[in-house]
Structure 1
Amino acid sequence: MSQPEARYSIRTLIIAVVATIVVTVITLEVNGRLLHNENKEDAELGTFTAIHLSPDGEDVRMSPKSSELHAVCEQGYLAIASDVDAAFRAILLDYKSRGVRCGDIHTYVSPATSNAQPAAPESPQ
């Protein structure tokens, strides 16, 4: 007996792992520990990052590959649409769940006026 004898075969161990995963998922589902969102409209579909574009023309670091999404203006709000699924369209929200506006509403503060103090409101007489 120079070689240690294997007590279990690899096939038995794989079957045991798969059976354990299946039993765990079924148990969690029966006990209500797995939560399923019924309202598909409020699902978070992705995370986006905003990159500040400076007027001095610094290079923006981003992937050279284009995403499969594009932006469209939908009823005055910025929407993200899929290039591969024509039915997919979602409104872009900020961190407080407010819609991001688009279209004719453009406000730009030039660097020369950004340091100026705002005018004091006039008091009613």
Structure 2
Amino acid sequence: MSFLGKTYTFVKQENMDGFLKSVGLPDDKIEPVLKFTPEQKIIQEGDGYKYITQGRDGPREVTFKSGVEFDDLIGPEKFPAKTTYVVDGNKVTQTIKSAMGVGTFTREFVGDELIITMVTDKWDGVAKRYYKSA
């Protein structure tokens, strides 16, 4: 898992507005999310992991164990959710279950790239965010 400990910087995104609308995010909240381009990093800590996003408002850190569901707060509004991360080789899949539906974020690490693919049960489209490590 050569991606552990590397920092990935935002490059571009596809279909994010459609994804955000599909989960019911109000129009006035969509633009700030589209402009949110945090750095991403996953580190291993013992038998668990820490997922760190570093954005304009400082870092957000989520500590998890692969395959173990936990209570989470998501988005700028801090919606309550149940979240599970599964680490499998070069992929980290996050499943979020909330009042907004079920969303899956698949983080695939390929060489120096990170591609995050996002789908939800409320939409038949696919959104992607692309990152690159230094």
TM bucket (normalised to shorter chain) is under 0.3
Q: Which has the higher strand share?
A: 2
- Flag the structure with more relative contact order, 1 or 2, with Cα contacts below 8 A and sequence separation at least 6: 2
Q: Which has the larger Rg?
A: 1
> TM-score if structure 1 supplies the norm length?
0.20
Q: Which has the higher helix share?
A: 1
